[in-house]
Chain A
């Protein structure tokens, strides 16, 4: 089955700086790559996703890039703000799979 690796496990950034989280996946058949944000005491919430027919997608301060050849994708957060502090999960899925495979999560701390 699909195996998703996520690193680094924790990331501290100064407010206003950029944060980048990288994920790798194992199944070349995967074609859907979402990112979820989990705030303390809440369930994960989708923030952005990308499908394999594009290499990059942007939504305001967040962007995701995908390299299908290398089987990795990254989340980029620019101009970080304290409310960006959370755990971020990457995931991968594809046709024929019943569910997404999630990474272990990345704790992002934005230092004011």
Chain B
């Protein structure tokens, strides 16, 4: 089944360390999103990639957060100098066509990050 794949599924790290989270979207999907889900909170938008366009980074909470999407496929979300408030589930989603009203997002199962 070629769904959205995320790794690692769980990551425990010490405060101050850098972490990388990976997302493999569904083949052929041009749009890729990163969302953050904190305990008791909704899905907080982080960043959006659409084809070869410049990404929409407006949701990144600080300059410690960055993301890349190489070759229009795999994406990596990097958090530098992690803080305890970064602890959350990081969800990646892809869709066939991007935008806020163009249809279904397919989510991965998420990467649970715990910062000690």
Contact = CB atoms under 8 A, between A and B. Distances in A.
Interface of A: 4, 6, 30-32, 34, 36, 41-46, 49, 51, 89, 91, 93-105
Nearest to A33: B101
16 contacts: A6-B42, A30-B100, A43-B108, A44-B91, A44-B105, A44-B107, A46-B105, A93-B99, A95-B101, A96-B100, A98-B100, A99-B33, A99-B56, A100-B45, A102-B45, A104-B41
Interface residues of B, number: 26
B25 interface: no
Contacts of A93: 99-101
A89 B99 contact: no
B111 to A, nearest CB: 11
Given A41-B109, A43-B110, A89-B42, 7 more contacts: A34-B104, A43-B4, A43-B109, A99-B45, A99-B59, A102-B42, A104-B41
Contacts of B42: 4, 6, 89, 102-105
